[in-house]
Every structure is written in structure tokens, then in C-alpha cells.
Amino acid sequence: MDGAYVQILSDLRRGKLSHAILIDDGTPQAREDTARKAAQALVCTGEEKPCGVCSHCIKAAANAHADIMVFSGNGSPGSFKVDIVREIRRNASVMPNEAAVKVFILLSCETMNPAAQNALLKILEEPPQHVRFILTCNLAGSLLDTIRSRVTVYSLHTEQPAQQQARERAAFEIAGRILNSLALRDEKEVMLITAEFEKDRDWFSDVCVELSHLAFRVLVYQITGEGEADIYSSIADRFYGNQLQRISIICDEIYQAMQGNINANLLLSLFCARLFAELD
């Protein structure tokens, strides 16, 4: 389950879900699936929404609920025209058939031209009590600011960047430990830290990138005194001449070699040997 959908459900269950939401990012199929699942939860009469067993849930799952209406253009730019929005407005003024609310799913809103968006804006500003909107769009930024300011945006794949950030932080932390061990000329410790790279080529690459950046930042600190003194000063004091520059270059070269077919264990030995060769 995507983090965005979990957030939508959580907001819905706490009664905090806005009457108009926008699902962006991810694939068109993932956006549509999320929109349909959210619509199901909106019409559900069960306790834990969506319960999956009430008549509303069953009809919604079969794409056969009379109060869930899906609108879209044909996928090409500008194809979601003002005529379609006018139809939505007419429909919105009619009370729901069987559910407490009427849900309008508007797919691929990036294909709305400005006229269509302006027409939509009118109803987003003063929606009838019983109406809920679920818009999907490739990126919220491709819509008019006035539309965006009236919807709550839920972005799919929210885990991905967070995961990536966590990975980068972890790689940076390992890079710091390696540079610190190099500063102490602790060859054994470097071997220990880098042993884990044997199993994970990508991880080795990531750490190379971070170590290259870090060595370069400490070098800049060494030369200019600019940077985070509390972290860099003790390390900077233990490197001489162009050692930091060389460490950074070795990391870049090993990283480049990693992208080819060369055996990772071979590169790992080379990596350690070359780093220590610079420190004699």
C-alpha cells in the first residue's frame, strides 16, 4: 500500500479529509487505482473505511457505484475540455443516489486546458455539501496555482525519496567512519568497514560517492576554513599535501570502474590498497 493512500485513509477516518484532493506523481495507473480506492472509502458505510463488505464498497470495487463518477479527456494535451467540466458541474448539483456523498474522479487533470481549469475552479471554490472531488495529475505543478490552492495534494511513492534519503544518510555516515579511520591510519578498521561492500555493489558505489564528497569538503575546510569545523577540523589536521584530493579522486575512479563489469571484490581490494598508498 502506498504511503499516500495510507495518509488519505487516515485523514478520512479522522474526519480531516478535504472535500477536494489531488493525487499526483507515480504512474497513471497507480494514480487511478488510488483515486478509486479513495472513492470507495468515501462512499463506504462500514466502520473501518473502506470495509470492503458493505453494498457501497462492493459496487465501488466493481466500478458500478452510481455516486462515483469518473471523468477524463482522451489523454492528449488539452483534451479535458471545458464541456466536460460543465457536465461535472451539472451533475454535482444533483443529490447523490444512494451514498451520503457524490464522488467525482477527474483523471489526468494535466490534460485540462486553462479554460477547463477555470471552470473547475468555480465549483472547487463553492462545492455543494454532498460533493467530493478526487483529481489525479502527473505533477501538481502542472495545474494552475488557483486550483492547487484549493486541493490537498497526496503524492504517490512518498516512500521512495525518503528511502533514498535514508540510504544517502547511511552512506554518508559510513563514508565518515572510513575517512576517520584513514585519518587515524587504521587500516584494519577500514578493511572491517568495507568488508560489507563485498555483498552489495550498489552500496559500495553509494559510499564511494559520499566519501568523495566528504573528502572534498574536508579539503575545502583545510584550505579555506569554511565548513563544519566541529566535524572537519580533527580530520583535516591529519591529512597533508594533496592526500584529501587524492582520496576524493580515487573514490571517483573506483565509482566509475564500479559501473563497468569489473569484479567488485577486485575493486574493493584496489580501493583499500590505493587509499592506503596515499597515506604513507
Report CA torsion sign: 94, 97, 103, 105: negative
Residue 78 as a binder of Zn ion (CB under 5 A): the answer is no
Q: Is 101 helix (H, G, I), strand (E, B) or coil?
A: coil
Q: Which stretch binds Zn ion (CB under 5 A): 48-56, 59-67, 83-91, 258-266?
A: 48-56
- Cα 97 from Cα 139, distance rounded (Å): 33
- Cα 18 from Cα 200, distance rounded (Å): 44
DSSP symbol at 80: B
Q: Is 79 exposed, middle or buried (0-12, 13-18, 19+ CB in 10 A)?
A: middle
- Cα 76 from Cα 56, distance rounded (Å): 32
Residue 54 as a binder of Zn ion (CB under 5 A): the answer is yes
Question: Which of 54/69 has CB closer to Zn ion?
Answer: 54
- Going through the chain in order, the beta strands assigned E by DSSP cover 20-24, 68-71, 102-106, 131-137, 152-155
Contact pick of 46, 75, 77, 225 for Zn ion (by CB under 5 A): 46
Q: Which stretch binds Zn ion (CB under 5 A): 44-52, 98-106, 160-168, 263-271?
A: 44-52
Question: Which of 47/145 has CB closer to Zn ion?
Answer: 47
Question: Which of 12/211 has CB closer to Zn ion?
Answer: 12
Residue 57 as a binder of Zn ion (CB under 5 A): the answer is yes
Residue 103 as a binder of Zn ion (CB under 5 A): the answer is no
Q: Is 2 helix (H, G, I), strand (E, B) or coil?
A: coil
Question: Which of 59/150 has CB closer to Zn ion?
Answer: 59
Number of residues that bind Zn ion (CB under 5 A): 5
Residue 61 as a binder of Zn ion (CB under 5 A): the answer is no
Contact pick of 42, 44, 103, 105 for Zn ion (by CB under 5 A): 44
- Cα 244 from Cα 186, distance rounded (Å): 16
Residue 51 as a binder of Zn ion (CB under 5 A): the answer is yes
Question: Which of 51/279 has CB closer to Zn ion?
Answer: 51
Interacting residues toward Zn ion by CB under 5 A: 44, 46, 51, 54, 57
